[in-house]
Structure 1
Amino acid sequence: MTKEALHNLIKKEQPNICQIVAYKDNKKIYSDEWNHYKADDCTHIMSATKSVVALLIGIALDHGLIKSVDDKVLDYFPDYTVKRGEKTIYAITIKHLLTMRAPYKCKGDPWTKICTSADWTKTSLDFLGGRKGLTNEFQYQTVCLHILTGLLHQVCNMKTVDYANKYLFAPIGVKNHINFYAETADEHKHFTMCKEPKEDVWFCDPMQIATPGYGLCLSAEDMAKIGLLCLNKGSFDGKQIVSSKWIDEMTAPALVESDQFRNMMYGYLWWIIDKDKKVYAAIGNSGNVIYIDPQNDIVIAVTSYFKPTVFDRVDFIEEVIKPSILEKL
């Protein structure tokens, strides 16, 4: 397939794709844009944000700011007052949050209660725990995951975006980002659903703590750089940004006891596509993906504007994009 043929196929069959960038053997071999996007425009990468936060947690561990993923969450919030009768919260660890095994006193994401509060971290902690105890059940969360960036803020005393700029984005050549806060529910909705390019921003709460479950805006080139960092075991241009040990631990597969997620497995906020071939991905709603195939030394990054009927593009990547790359498109 020629590049023009692939461009037209994507335009027809995957109409909300904005950018694709692919690397093979650490060399860029493909880049293209659709929907009037330029190569350096950003899109809201939705839940792929979670995977970037996993890298920041690893960096904080390397810096000694976090002792262990087995630490109890409440050890990092000494001023938090536990609700009366709540016991489970005392046993919950950082690892429970990273693996989506933490229990919550809610069904689904309590968007309204958290996003209308003055302190999103505290309100998220109020939902943590419950009468069922530690069931180790996979419970995918987005808004309550705010506990993780709240914890990161506690240990580094920096805005999440500033910590990311200094220790992750700048070292791999991603532009500095700034916070974006929505004053109203309509602004929040517009941020999520707008189809136009975004600036280099990261959505945040009223306390300037970035949202870990969504809200980061990147270009496909930015995402590909993050993928290269992971592909190269935490190293970028010869500099170790995060430990190789963390990359291995972060991408170790664990079974997800649900067919809701296309039978994928899960690591630390990264989806494991094929545990035998060690293929894994950051996946965001509407088809935003960082796809990493270590065996073939391939990284494929896809950005897309909001389209709620699209969960991921793993099949399209594996059935169309990757074969084209391996054929030296």
Structure 2
Amino acid sequence: MDPTKIEALEQHIRNDCGNITGIVVRKNGEVRYERYFNGCTADSPTHVFSVTKSVLSLLIGIAIDEGMIRGVEQKVLDFFPEYIPGPGQETARGVTLRDLLTMTAPFQYEEEPYEAYFSSGDWVRSALSLLGGTEPPGVFRYRPLVGPDILSGILTRATGRSVLDFARERLFSPLGISVADSLTFRDQAEQMAFYQSTGVSCWVADPKGVNTAGWGLTLTAGDMAKIGQLCLDGGRWNGTQLVSARWIRESTREQVRWAEQNLPYGYLWWVMEHGFAAMGDGGNVIYADREKGLAVAITSLMAPETGDRIDLIQTHIEPLFSDEA
């Protein structure tokens, strides 16, 4: 790599992307670039917000691979036989896992009811009570928080253990990723402080102990780069098939399109021309380009204006590695 170009990249980051805490680039399976900012190191986990969704996608795939879940067409309410849909939930009985994974499940709100949701003692049941409505499934409606948590409830029931415990055994430990514990907030101030923290290794859970699905996981940039590499390699890591190649193909190809933004979406992954990405608030990203054999991970602190991280990668990072074998 040209040191002058690397210095130009890092100067751009300091000037225009000041909330970035870490960047790791893997090319053809090898780490080619690693740099940390804002006092962080390779051992500094950061809250990666909606990147959590794509990790959930991998875990759902593993559960399907192992027969714990029949498949994406299984009805959501199969996993909650005690739940009786209430008035206004006409379409809830027909909602499938695929609808949740593709953000095409209908919900009874226009804007997510954050305050009521967070103040409830059971986030999965709170989400279930909002599922359905008068519209049928099938139209992309991005629900960053409430909808995905139903998947956490499904995974917990299907596997008989917490999402974090299942992830540790089937995904994190084989990848050499450490997530210390579940974290339940005592109040809003504690939650807000968590958004700006570094060095806290955890996966947020609701008061019932169910880990979140749409946000709440902390990872290092190196951890996220490993996840990107795993997916580039069709679910294999160090010769072991952790996730089936079929699930990687299906989850990272276009399943639906967000018409308003003309953006293709898979199973909790954003889909690009030659690859796919997990994207979270603040500019947290796992970016994978199949043609270039490139996996890029960026961790960031929450900030109101962060710019387009995909543009940062494609304009300022990818070209540095485009000529490397």
TM range (shorter): over 0.9
CA–CA distance in structure 2, aligned partners of residues 108 and 48 of structure 1: 21
1:224 and 2:225 correspond: yes
Of all paired residues, the percent bearing the same amino acid is: 38
Secondary structure (helix, strand or coil) at the match of 1:283 reads: strand
TM-score, normalization: structure 1? 0.94
Secondary structure (helix, strand or coil) at the match of 1:286 reads: helix
CA–CA distance in structure 2, aligned partners of residues 98 and 311 of structure 1: 26
Q: CA deviation at 1:143?
A: 2.1
Q: CA deviation at 1:255?
A: 4.4
The correspondence for 1:317, drawn from 285, 293, 313, is: 313
Q: CA deviation at 1:189?
A: 1.9
Secondary structure (helix, strand or coil) at the match of 2:257 reads: coil
CA–CA distance in structure 2, aligned partners of residues 172 and 71 of structure 1: 29
1:266/1:272 contact within 8 Å kept: yes
Secondary structure (helix, strand or coil) at the match of 2:25 reads: strand
Count the aligned residue pairs.
321
Secondary structure (helix, strand or coil) at the match of 1:230 reads: helix
CA–CA distance in structure 2, aligned partners of residues 81 and 6 of structure 1: 55
Q: CA deviation at 1:258?
A: 3.2
Secondary structure (helix, strand or coil) at the match of 1:256 reads: strand
1:16 and 2:19 correspond: yes
Q: Deviations over 1:239-285 (max 9, x none)?
A: 0001000000101213424344xx321000000122xx2x1100011
* Corresponding position of 1:32: 35
Q: Deviations over 1:178-234 (max 9, x none)?
A: 101111112122222x1x413211111011111100111000000001011100000
- Structure 1 spans left out of the alignment, 5+ residues: none
Secondary structure (helix, strand or coil) at the match of 2:170 reads: helix
Q: CA deviation at 1:39?
A: 1.3
Instruction: State the AA in 2 paired with 1:228.
Output: Q
* Corresponding position of 1:294: 290
1:69 and 2:95 correspond: no
The root-mean-square deviation of aligned C-alpha atoms, in Å, is 1.5
Secondary structure (helix, strand or coil) at the match of 1:179 reads: strand
CA–CA distance in structure 1, aligned partners of residues 293 and 165 of structure 2: 31
CA–CA distance in structure 2, aligned partners of residues 281 and 209 of structure 1: 26
Q: Deviations over 1:125-169 (max 9, x none)?
A: 0000001233x1111112212100011111112111111111110
Q: CA deviation at 1:310?
A: 2.6
CA–CA distance in structure 2, aligned partners of residues 5 and 210 of structure 1: 40
1:266 and 2:265 correspond: yes
Alignment of 1:230-249 (within 5 A): 230-249=231-250
1:44/1:198 contact within 8 Å kept: no
Instruction: State the AA in 1 paired with 2:155.
Output: L
Alignment of 1:105-254 (within 5 A): 105-134=108-137, 136-144=138-146, 145-192=148-195, 194=196, 196-254=197-255
Secondary structure (helix, strand or coil) at the match of 1:292 reads: strand
CA–CA distance in structure 1, aligned partners of residues 40 and 71 of structure 2: 41
**Greater CA deviation, 310-319 or 162-171?**
310-319
Secondary structure (helix, strand or coil) at the match of 1:308 reads: coil
Secondary structure (helix, strand or coil) at the match of 1:127 reads: coil
1:106/1:127 contact within 8 Å kept: yes
Secondary structure (helix, strand or coil) at the match of 2:61 reads: helix
1:288/1:304 contact within 8 Å kept: yes
Instruction: State the AA in 2 paired with 1:206.
Output: P
1:49 and 2:45 correspond: no
Q: CA deviation at 1:46?
A: 0.8
**Greater CA deviation, 318-327 or 224-233?**
318-327
Instruction: State the AA in 2 paired with 1:177.
Output: A
TM-score, normalization: structure 2? 0.95
Instruction: State the AA in 2 paired with 1:42.
Output: P
* Corresponding position of 1:306: 302
2:64/2:70 contact within 8 Å kept: yes
Displaced runs of 4 or more, over 4 A: none
2:88/2:132 contact within 8 Å kept: no
